[in-house]
Structures are given as C-alpha cells and as structure tokens.
Amino acid sequence: MRGFQQEQLDLFIFVDALGWRIVEEYGFLSDELPDQEPCDTVFGYSSACDPSILTGKLPQEHGHFSCFLKAENKSASPFASLGKLGWLPELVAGHHRLRSRLSRMLAKKLEYTGYFQLYSVPFSCLPYLDYTEKNDIYAPGGIINGNATVFSHWQASRKPWFRSDWHQSDKMNIAQVRNKIDQQSIQLGYLFTSGLDAAMHRHGTKGVGTSDAIDCLEQQIRDLFELASRRYKDVRFHVFSDHGMTNTVDTSDLMPRWEKETGLRYGADYVAVWDSTMARFWFDNEHARERAIRKLEQEKDGYIVREDQLAQWGCKFEDHRYGELFYLLNPGVLFVPSFMNQRFVTGMHGYAPEHQDSKACWLTNAELESHPRSIDKIFDVMVNASDRPEKAASQVSKSTVTVS
Ligand SMILES: [Zn+2]
C-alpha cells in the first residue's frame, strides 16, 4: 500500500559552492529539477553569502562579511592573550591539527556558537583582530544586525519545518531529513550540505574527487526525491548555492613580501587581514596608507576595489569595519600563504562576483512566477513557501469527491 499523499513538501537544499558553471558542465540533476538558472552571488565568502540567503539582505544590511576584522583596540580583541604564542616557530604554530584543537578550545572558552576557525592567522597578529561569527547565524538572534531569518518566518507560519545542523556531516544531515520525509512530519525543510565545497577546494572543479562527490550528491538527492514523491502529493525540491568555485591558476606571495617591500610594521603602521583572495587594510597613519596604495598599484595580480564598487556589491560599511582598503586578486589567483591557508589550494572562491565562475545556481522542479536572480532573493522564495496555501490537498479531496 502506498503512503499518505495529501501533503505538500518544499525542500530547500543548500549545496555550498555548487556554481552555475558546474551545474552546466555536469548537467546536475537536469532531469529531476528541469528549471535551472544562474544566480548572482554576493561579494565575499560563505560568511557573507550565507547570511544573505538566510535574511534576504546584503552584507552592509545584515552586518556579516568576513571572519576576521580589526579589533577596536587591543584590549577589545578576544584573542589578546594569544599574542604570547607569537614566539612559536611558524611550522608548529601553523600545524593544522594544533590549530583545529586550539580553535575548538577557544570557541568553548569564548562561548562562541558560530562557525569558528583560527585558520592560519599568525598568533602575533591575532591580538589586533576580532571575529565576526560569534553566534550561530542559523539560530534565533544569530545575525549581527538583528535581522530575522527565514526560519523565524517558518516558525510563525505554524507549518511543520526542519533545518539541518551545520555542525554535522552531510551524511548525517541527509539521513535526518530523509527520516523526516519518511515520517511525513515536515512541510518545509532546509538541508545543509558542505561536502562539495571541500571536495572542490581539494580537487578543483574537474578533478576525479569532485566528479565523484557530484555523482554521490546527485544520487542522494534523487533518492530523497523518490522517497518524497511516495510520501507527499505535492513535492517541490529547490537546490541552490551561495557561490561558485574557480580553479587556481596562479599564486601571489605578496603577504610575505609586504613588510620587506613597504617598510610598514603590523600593529604600528597598519593592521591587515589576508584572506585567500583579498587583503583588507586599516591604517594608523597617512604615510602608511599612501605607501600601501602605491605598492598595491604596482602589483599585477589584483586591484584596489573602489568604494563605489563596494557600494554596488552591497558591501560598503560606513564604519569601514571590514577594512579601509580592499585589494582583490584576479579570478584564479590565490595568496600563498595567507591568513586562511599556508599552502596551495586547487580551487577557491571569493573573487569578483560578476566573474562567470563566481555565479551561484538555482534549480527547481516548481513552477514559480519568477526565479531568484541573486542569492539574497532566495529568501523570498523560502518565505513564500511557508505562505503557500494547501491547494494540492484540497484539490485532491475535491476530485476524489467528484469521481466517487
Ligand atoms: Zn569554500
């Protein structure tokens, strides 16, 4: 006997870094989800993009942009005590496992519930820095500027809903949502997956490890779809991403050259955060600012991002909390080393959002009036799903009456 078939399901499947180019190249789920469109991303990394998906706002509105930023002063830095570790030899200090363990210990001590990683930030620089995602952005009250997320709308709708826990593995998250679908206990679901992002950082967009990860994910979504179609009358699956992925074609060693070639001193003249694809600077004096601008203008691997460009991207923070000067690398160039990675990484994101490899995707089997053209508009589709009248259910019972 077949299961119940009177309810609606809207499942929103977040696939970190599933760019539009990858969707096209691999024909990702083109049979199950035939309505496929590119979706503009937001400038920055997942730390900027994901809050935009959850709130429908741009970074300058929700307040999130990048993990690290300059602390208001040294005593305000949550990492003030870590400067003492600055004497540790780089190899020891940069050891991946030591860093991860220390990150976990620190997050606990500081009572951070958000995604926290020290990455490769030198211990000597940490006391000048602060951290953005202190609270879990998926939990109530987690957005810096206090914006409501889609989940508060879902909660208010009184429809049964579920979202994955990003702390857990993809396997665990998929198993949980599968269980919910099997029990027909939800009408709205947000499935979080990040495995493809990790695979592409490691193998690039064309590596065997990546095509295996894509095949596996496709099969998992197909299986969910098949089960949902047996359990629900009206199944809408929506797959989307936060940004794409670019293969690394060149590297820049500007970070280790910086002080030698400019004569500037970290903490005395300036503070900087060297993300994987951009460097953000704050200056203590005019000389340092002019010197840095002159130096950056000579570099061939990237460019200084103008204020009006930042404003156009929705990343113009009036208080310059994420930097007074942004230097962005050209697509495919990676800082090696940077504060985020000490070594070469095969795939990266966080370049100009207009670049073809930066574009995110929107894939659905639902007939919608319009597609979200940018990732912050996915919020509207998710909110609308919770307002959807239970049309399918009433039509089913009506037609049953007519036939009988
Ligand atoms: Zn990533």
User: pLDDT for 194-238, tens place per residue?
Assistant: 999 999 999 999 999 999 999 999 999 999 999 999 999 999 999
Contact 187, 161 (CB under 8 A): yes
Phi/psi at 346 (5° precision):
-70, -35
Residue 94 DSSP symbol: T
Taking alpha carbons only, the member of 383, 308, 373, 307 closest to residue 41 is: 373
CA distance 257 to 336: 11
Lowest-pLDDT range, 179-193, 255-269, 382-396?
382-396
Mean pLDDT of the 364-392 span: 91
CATH 3.40.50.720 at 8-59+138-246+362-388, yes or no: no
Mean pLDDT of the 285-298 span: 98
Mean pLDDT of the 358-385 span: 96
CA 196 to ligand 1 centroid distance, Å: 9
Side chain identity, residue 271: V
CA 100 to ligand 1 centroid distance, Å: 17
Confidence at residue 112, expressed as pLDDT on a 0 to 100 scale: 85
Does the pLDDT of residue 392 top 80, yes or no? no
Six-digit token pair at 231? 């359990």
Give the CA-trace dihedral at 80, 270, 50, 358, to 10 degrees. -150
Confidence at residue 246, expressed as pLDDT on a 0 to 100 scale: 98
Contact 278, 322 (CB under 8 A): no
To the nearest whole percent, how much of the chain has pLDDT over 70? 92
Instruction: Please write down the long-range contacts of 395-399, taking CB distance under 8 Å and 24 or more positions apart.
Output: 396/5, 396/6, 396/233, 397/6
CA 383 to ligand 1 centroid distance, Å: 26
CA 343 to ligand 1 centroid distance, Å: 15
CA 242 to ligand 1 centroid distance, Å: 10
CA 348 to ligand 1 centroid distance, Å: 7
Question: Domain extents for the chain?
Answer: 8-59+138-246+362-388, 249-345
Contact 269, 262 (CB under 8 A): no
Confidence at residue 116, expressed as pLDDT on a 0 to 100 scale: 82
Taking alpha carbons only, the member of 39, 351, 16 closest to residue 214 is: 16
CA 47 to ligand 1 centroid distance, Å: 10
Confidence at residue 403, expressed as pLDDT on a 0 to 100 scale: 31
CA 63 to ligand 1 centroid distance, Å: 20
Confidence at residue 197, expressed as pLDDT on a 0 to 100 scale: 97
Indicate the pLDDT class of residue 86, thresholds 50, 70 and 90.
low
Six-digit token pair at 247? 């293969």
∠ CA 199-204-210, rounded to 5°: 45
CA 15 to ligand 1 centroid distance, Å: 11
What is the enclosing helix (H) or strand (E) of 178?
helix 170-182
Contact 235, 13 (CB under 8 A): no
CA 234 to ligand 1 centroid distance, Å: 33
Indicate the pLDDT class of residue 114, thresholds 50, 70 and 90.
confident
Mean pLDDT of the 27-41 span: 97
Lowest-pLDDT range, 34-48, 73-87, 112-126, 159-173?
73-87
Indicate the pLDDT class of residue 5, thresholds 50, 70 and 90.
very low
CA 197 to ligand 1 centroid distance, Å: 5
To the nearest whole percent, how much of the chain has pLDDT over 90? 78
CA 16 to ligand 1 centroid distance, Å: 7
CA 237 to ligand 1 centroid distance, Å: 24
Contact 69, 129 (CB under 8 A): yes
CA 381 to ligand 1 centroid distance, Å: 24
**For 249-345, CATH number?**
3.30.1360.180
Confidence at residue 402, expressed as pLDDT on a 0 to 100 scale: 32
CA 106 to ligand 1 centroid distance, Å: 22
Taking alpha carbons only, the member of 210, 181, 180, 208 closest to residue 195 is: 210
**Mean pLDDT, the chain, integer:** 91
CA distance 311 to 146: 21
∠ CA 276-43-136, rounded to 5°: 80
Phi/psi at 358 (5° precision):
-80, -20
CA 224 to ligand 1 centroid distance, Å: 25
Taking alpha carbons only, the member of 5, 56, 4, 12 closest to residue 33 is: 12
CA 46 to ligand 1 centroid distance, Å: 7
Side chain identity, residue 221: I
Taking alpha carbons only, the member of 13, 18, 12 closest to residue 197 is: 18
Confidence at residue 94, expressed as pLDDT on a 0 to 100 scale: 62
CA 29 to ligand 1 centroid distance, Å: 22
CA 244 to ligand 1 centroid distance, Å: 9
| pLDDT tens, residue by residue, 295-305 | 999 999 999 99
